[in-house]
Structure 1
Amino acid sequence: MKTVVYTQNAPEPIGPYSQAIIAGNFVFASGQIAINPATGNLVLDDIKAETKQVMENIKAILITAGIDFGHIIKTTIFLMDMQNFAQVNEIYGTYFKGDFPARETVQVAGLPKGVNVEISITAIKP
Protein backbone atom coordinates (compact mmCIF):
# COMPACT_ATOMS: atom_id res chain seq x y z
CA MET A 1 0.00 0.00 0.00
CA LYS A 2 1.24 3.48 -0.79
CA THR A 3 0.17 7.00 0.08
CA VAL A 4 0.87 10.01 -2.09
CA VAL A 5 2.40 13.01 -0.32
CA TYR A 6 1.39 16.38 -1.73
CA THR A 7 1.88 19.93 -0.51
CA GLN A 8 1.43 23.32 -2.12
CA ASN A 9 4.55 24.36 -0.19
CA ALA A 10 6.75 22.41 -2.61
CA PRO A 11 6.86 22.71 -6.39
CA GLU A 12 4.19 21.04 -8.48
CA PRO A 13 5.60 17.98 -10.25
CA ILE A 14 6.74 18.84 -13.77
CA GLY A 15 5.95 15.36 -15.06
CA PRO A 16 4.01 12.20 -14.27
CA TYR A 17 5.32 11.66 -10.73
CA SER A 18 4.42 12.49 -7.13
CA GLN A 19 6.31 14.82 -4.82
CA ALA A 20 6.73 11.85 -2.50
CA ILE A 21 5.30 8.44 -1.70
CA ILE A 22 4.91 6.80 1.70
CA ALA A 23 5.23 3.01 1.49
CA GLY A 24 5.12 1.25 4.83
CA ASN A 25 7.45 3.21 7.11
CA PHE A 26 9.45 4.64 4.21
CA VAL A 27 9.11 8.03 2.55
CA PHE A 28 10.56 8.35 -0.95
CA ALA A 29 10.74 11.96 -2.15
CA SER A 30 11.24 12.70 -5.82
CA GLY A 31 14.24 14.78 -6.80
CA GLN A 32 13.72 18.41 -5.94
CA ILE A 33 15.06 21.33 -7.92
CA ALA A 34 15.14 25.03 -7.06
CA ILE A 35 11.62 26.01 -8.01
CA ASN A 36 10.05 28.49 -5.63
CA PRO A 37 6.58 27.00 -5.03
CA ALA A 38 5.04 30.41 -4.31
CA THR A 39 6.03 31.88 -7.67
CA GLY A 40 6.82 28.88 -9.85
CA ASN A 41 10.11 30.56 -10.75
CA LEU A 42 13.53 28.98 -10.64
CA VAL A 43 15.98 30.26 -8.01
CA LEU A 44 19.26 30.36 -9.92
CA ASP A 45 20.96 33.40 -8.33
CA ASP A 46 23.94 31.31 -7.22
CA ILE A 47 24.57 27.69 -6.21
CA LYS A 48 24.03 28.41 -2.50
CA ALA A 49 20.63 30.05 -3.06
CA GLU A 50 19.70 27.26 -5.45
CA THR A 51 20.66 24.58 -2.92
CA LYS A 52 18.77 26.37 -0.13
CA GLN A 53 15.59 26.40 -2.25
CA VAL A 54 16.01 22.68 -2.97
CA MET A 55 16.40 21.94 0.74
CA GLU A 56 13.38 24.12 1.61
CA ASN A 57 11.32 22.17 -0.92
CA ILE A 58 12.45 18.92 0.70
CA LYS A 59 11.60 20.37 4.13
CA ALA A 60 8.03 21.15 3.00
CA ILE A 61 7.57 17.58 1.78
CA LEU A 62 8.97 16.15 5.01
CA ILE A 63 6.63 18.29 7.11
CA THR A 64 3.65 17.14 5.07
CA ALA A 65 4.76 13.53 5.57
CA GLY A 66 4.92 14.17 9.34
CA ILE A 67 8.70 13.92 9.70
CA ASP A 68 11.82 16.09 9.57
CA PHE A 69 15.43 15.97 8.35
CA GLY A 70 16.37 13.71 11.27
CA HIS A 71 14.32 10.93 9.64
CA ILE A 72 16.23 10.97 6.34
CA ILE A 73 18.29 7.83 5.88
CA LYS A 74 19.61 8.35 2.33
CA THR A 75 20.07 11.23 -0.08
CA THR A 76 21.27 11.50 -3.65
CA ILE A 77 22.71 14.76 -4.92
CA PHE A 78 22.96 15.34 -8.65
CA LEU A 79 25.31 18.14 -9.72
CA MET A 80 25.93 19.64 -13.12
CA ASP A 81 29.44 20.65 -12.01
CA MET A 82 31.40 18.91 -9.26
CA GLN A 83 33.19 22.26 -8.71
CA ASN A 84 30.01 23.26 -6.80
CA PHE A 85 30.36 20.34 -4.37
CA ALA A 86 31.79 22.35 -1.42
CA GLN A 87 29.16 25.11 -1.66
CA VAL A 88 26.28 22.64 -1.98
CA ASN A 89 27.69 20.63 0.91
CA GLU A 90 27.90 23.77 3.07
CA ILE A 91 24.18 24.57 2.67
CA TYR A 92 23.06 20.90 2.73
CA GLY A 93 24.88 20.31 6.02
CA THR A 94 23.01 23.07 7.84
CA TYR A 95 19.75 21.11 7.55
CA PHE A 96 21.00 18.15 9.60
CA LYS A 97 21.80 17.83 13.27
CA GLY A 98 24.21 15.07 14.27
CA ASP A 99 23.78 11.78 12.48
CA PHE A 100 23.95 12.44 8.75
CA PRO A 101 22.16 10.19 6.26
CA ALA A 102 23.97 7.96 3.80
CA ARG A 103 24.59 9.78 0.53
CA GLU A 104 26.08 9.80 -2.89
CA THR A 105 26.87 12.82 -5.02
CA VAL A 106 27.22 12.45 -8.77
CA GLN A 107 27.97 14.79 -11.62
CA VAL A 108 25.47 14.51 -14.44
CA ALA A 109 25.26 15.68 -18.05
CA GLY A 110 21.96 17.50 -17.55
CA LEU A 111 19.15 18.24 -15.11
CA PRO A 112 15.52 19.35 -15.58
CA LYS A 113 15.00 23.00 -16.55
CA GLY A 114 18.77 23.53 -16.78
CA VAL A 115 19.28 23.65 -13.01
CA ASN A 116 22.61 23.02 -11.32
CA VAL A 117 21.53 20.74 -8.46
CA GLU A 118 18.78 18.19 -7.75
CA ILE A 119 18.39 16.23 -4.51
CA SER A 120 16.23 13.21 -3.74
CA ILE A 121 15.74 11.58 -0.34
CA THR A 122 14.58 8.43 1.36
CA ALA A 123 13.35 8.74 4.94
CA ILE A 124 11.80 6.51 7.57
CA LYS A 125 8.72 7.24 9.65
CA PRO A 126 8.82 6.20 13.32
Structure 2
Amino acid sequence: MTMKPLFTAEAPAPGGAYSQAMLAGDYIFTAGQVGLNPQTGETPADFREEVRQALANLRSVLAEGGADLNDVVRTMCLLTDIGNFAVFNEEYAAAFGEHRPARSTFGIALAGGFTVEIEAIAYTGGR
Protein backbone atom coordinates (compact mmCIF):
# COMPACT_ATOMS: atom_id res chain seq x y z
CA MET A 1 0.00 0.00 0.00
CA THR A 2 1.25 3.46 -0.87
CA MET A 3 1.27 6.11 1.84
CA LYS A 4 1.95 9.81 1.48
CA PRO A 5 1.56 12.83 3.73
CA LEU A 6 -0.92 15.53 2.78
CA PHE A 7 -0.43 19.25 3.37
CA THR A 8 -2.49 22.33 2.58
CA ALA A 9 -1.88 25.96 3.51
CA GLU A 10 -5.68 26.21 3.93
CA ALA A 11 -5.40 24.52 7.35
CA PRO A 12 -3.00 25.15 10.24
CA ALA A 13 0.49 23.76 9.74
CA PRO A 14 1.42 20.92 12.10
CA GLY A 15 2.90 22.17 15.34
CA GLY A 16 4.83 18.99 16.04
CA ALA A 17 6.16 15.77 14.57
CA TYR A 18 3.06 14.84 12.56
CA SER A 19 1.32 15.46 9.23
CA GLN A 20 -2.02 17.18 8.67
CA ALA A 21 -3.13 13.88 7.15
CA MET A 22 -1.86 10.69 5.58
CA LEU A 23 -3.23 9.21 2.38
CA ALA A 24 -2.94 5.43 2.78
CA GLY A 25 -4.32 3.52 -0.18
CA ASP A 26 -7.95 4.60 -0.56
CA TYR A 27 -8.16 6.19 2.91
CA ILE A 28 -7.28 9.56 4.39
CA PHE A 29 -6.41 9.66 8.08
CA THR A 30 -6.41 13.23 9.37
CA ALA A 31 -4.67 14.61 12.39
CA GLY A 32 -6.91 16.43 14.81
CA GLN A 33 -8.03 19.73 13.33
CA VAL A 34 -8.47 22.63 15.72
CA GLY A 35 -10.14 26.00 15.36
CA LEU A 36 -7.01 27.95 14.46
CA ASN A 37 -7.42 30.23 11.45
CA PRO A 38 -4.48 29.35 9.13
CA GLN A 39 -4.39 32.86 7.61
CA THR A 40 -4.45 34.91 10.82
CA GLY A 41 -3.03 32.43 13.33
CA GLU A 42 -5.89 33.30 15.66
CA THR A 43 -8.51 31.14 17.36
CA PRO A 44 -12.05 32.51 17.70
CA ALA A 45 -13.01 33.43 21.27
CA ASP A 46 -16.53 32.05 20.68
CA PHE A 47 -16.84 28.24 20.99
CA ARG A 48 -19.32 27.95 18.10
CA GLU A 49 -16.95 29.87 15.80
CA GLU A 50 -14.04 27.69 16.92
CA VAL A 51 -16.02 24.57 15.97
CA ARG A 52 -16.84 26.10 12.57
CA GLN A 53 -13.16 26.88 11.96
CA ALA A 54 -12.11 23.35 12.99
CA LEU A 55 -14.64 21.94 10.51
CA ALA A 56 -13.40 24.30 7.79
CA ASN A 57 -9.84 23.12 8.47
CA LEU A 58 -10.99 19.51 8.29
CA ARG A 59 -12.68 20.19 4.93
CA SER A 60 -9.46 21.74 3.60
CA VAL A 61 -7.29 18.81 4.64
CA LEU A 62 -9.74 16.31 3.16
CA ALA A 63 -9.89 18.32 -0.09
CA GLU A 64 -6.11 18.07 -0.40
CA GLY A 65 -6.59 14.30 -0.62
CA GLY A 66 -9.52 14.56 -3.05
CA ALA A 67 -12.24 13.96 -0.45
CA ASP A 68 -14.96 15.91 1.35
CA LEU A 69 -17.14 15.47 4.42
CA ASN A 70 -19.42 13.04 2.54
CA ASP A 71 -16.45 10.65 2.27
CA VAL A 72 -15.84 10.56 6.03
CA VAL A 73 -16.52 7.18 7.60
CA ARG A 74 -15.46 7.97 11.17
CA THR A 75 -14.62 10.95 13.35
CA MET A 76 -13.14 11.37 16.79
CA CYS A 77 -14.11 14.63 18.45
CA LEU A 78 -12.47 16.11 21.53
CA LEU A 79 -13.99 18.85 23.70
CA THR A 80 -12.38 20.49 26.71
CA ASP A 81 -15.82 21.11 28.21
CA ILE A 82 -18.38 18.37 27.53
CA GLY A 83 -20.96 20.97 28.60
CA ASN A 84 -20.43 22.44 25.10
CA PHE A 85 -21.62 19.21 23.47
CA ALA A 86 -25.03 20.56 22.36
CA VAL A 87 -23.45 23.52 20.52
CA PHE A 88 -20.77 21.26 19.06
CA ASN A 89 -23.38 18.77 17.88
CA GLU A 90 -25.44 21.51 16.19
CA GLU A 91 -22.45 22.74 14.17
CA TYR A 92 -21.25 19.22 13.40
CA ALA A 93 -24.71 18.18 12.18
CA ALA A 94 -25.01 21.33 10.05
CA ALA A 95 -21.63 20.63 8.43
CA PHE A 96 -22.28 16.95 7.70
CA GLY A 97 -25.93 17.36 6.68
CA GLU A 98 -27.64 14.00 6.16
CA HIS A 99 -24.31 12.15 6.12
CA ARG A 100 -23.73 10.50 9.49
CA PRO A 101 -20.26 8.99 9.90
CA ALA A 102 -19.48 6.91 12.97
CA ARG A 103 -18.35 9.24 15.77
CA SER A 104 -16.82 9.23 19.22
CA THR A 105 -16.81 12.38 21.35
CA PHE A 106 -14.71 12.79 24.48
CA GLY A 107 -14.20 15.43 27.14
CA ILE A 108 -10.44 15.92 27.53
CA ALA A 109 -7.71 18.52 28.11
CA LEU A 110 -6.23 19.84 24.85
CA ALA A 111 -2.82 21.43 24.30
CA GLY A 112 -2.52 24.98 23.02
CA GLY A 113 -5.61 26.39 24.70
CA PHE A 114 -7.98 24.94 22.07
CA THR A 115 -11.47 23.86 23.13
CA VAL A 116 -12.27 21.49 20.24
CA GLU A 117 -10.38 19.09 18.00
CA ILE A 118 -11.78 16.87 15.23
CA GLU A 119 -10.03 14.06 13.40
CA ALA A 120 -11.45 11.90 10.63
CA ILE A 121 -10.99 8.85 8.48
CA ALA A 122 -12.31 9.21 4.93
CA TYR A 123 -12.64 6.72 2.09
CA THR A 124 -11.66 8.12 -1.31
CA GLY A 125 -12.88 5.14 -3.33
CA GLY A 126 -9.60 5.02 -5.21
CA ARG A 127 -10.09 8.40 -6.89
TM-score where L is the length of structure 1: 0.95
Percentage of identical aligned residues: 36
CA distance in 2, matches of 1:78, 1:104: 8
Q: Identify unmatched segments of 5+ residues in structure 2.
A: none
Alignment partner, residue 46 of structure 1: 46
Alignment partner, residue 94 of structure 2: 94
Alignment partner, residue 115 of structure 1: 114
Note the C-alpha offset of 1:114.
Answer: 1.2
SS in 1 for 2:18: coil
SS in 1 for 2:61: helix
Q: What is the letter of the counterpart of residue 66 of structure 1?
A: G
State how many pairs are aligned.
124
What does 1:11-26 align with in structure 2 at a 5 Å threshold?
Answer: 11-26=12-27
CA distance in 2, matches of 1:120, 1:112: 15
CA distance in 1, matches of 2:115, 2:30: 19
CA deviation digits over 1:75-124, x for unaligned, max 9? 0111111100000011111111323000010111x102111111110100
CA distance in 2, matches of 1:25, 1:112: 30
Q: What is the letter of the counterpart of residue 117 of structure 1?
A: V
Across the aligned residues of Structure 1 and Structure 2, the Cα RMSD in angstroms comes to 0.9
What does 1:18-97 align with in structure 2 at a 5 Å threshold?
Answer: 18-43=19-44, 45-97=45-97
Q: What is the letter of the counterpart of residue 20 of structure 1?
A: A
Q: What is the letter of the counterpart of residue 22 of structure 2?
A: I
1:124 aligned onto 2:123 = yes
CA deviation digits over 1:45-104, x for unaligned, max 9? 211001000000001111111111000000011111110000001111111132300001
